[in-house]
Amino acid sequence: MEYIRGLGFRSHMNRLRLHYLLRQNGFYSRIHAYEYLLGFKGSIIGIMVVDPTTNIATLYTHVKLESQVVNRLRECIRAVGGRDLMLKSVGVYFSEPKRDTKDLDTTE
């Protein structure tokens, strides 16, 4: 599958090609429109969003990535006409769900 020159991420074929390149390079990839759920070595590393107007991919990640992993991602992006990869660090917070104790009261 070859990418369509000049269209970058506007082309569905180029985005699909990126999905296959990521998988060939050892990443877990699940695609939905312009978003990719990415994993590496058995762990989710983040969400990558590709922008069809700028042809730049942004990876929102909660982990520190080795430079070899970032370079491998950049190579895949450039192979389909993308310009570059931006990394954005995000925090992950877990909290217990709040329960309405009024609904649990059975003494009425």
**Cβ atoms of residues 57 and 82 within 8 Å:** yes
Residue 89 domain flag: yes
Identify the CATH number of the domain in which residue 54 sits. 3.30.300
State pLDDT tens for residues 6-28: 788 999 999 999 999 999 999 99
Please give the residue range of the domain that contains residue 53. 8-93
pLDDT tens-digit profile of 36-51? 999 999 999 999 999 9
Does 41 fall in a domain? yes
Instruction: Note the Cα 70 to chain centre separation in Å.
Output: 12
Q: How much is the pTM?
A: 0.80
Q: Which of 79-83, 93-97, 103-107 has the lowest mean pLDDT?
A: 103-107
For residue 2, tell me if it sits in a domain: no
Q: How confident is the model at residue 69 (pLDDT cuts 50, 70, 90)?
A: very high
* pLDDT value of residue 34: 96
Sheet arrangement for strand 35-40: 27-32, 35-40, 43-51, 56-61, 84-89
Residue 35: predicted pLDDT: 97
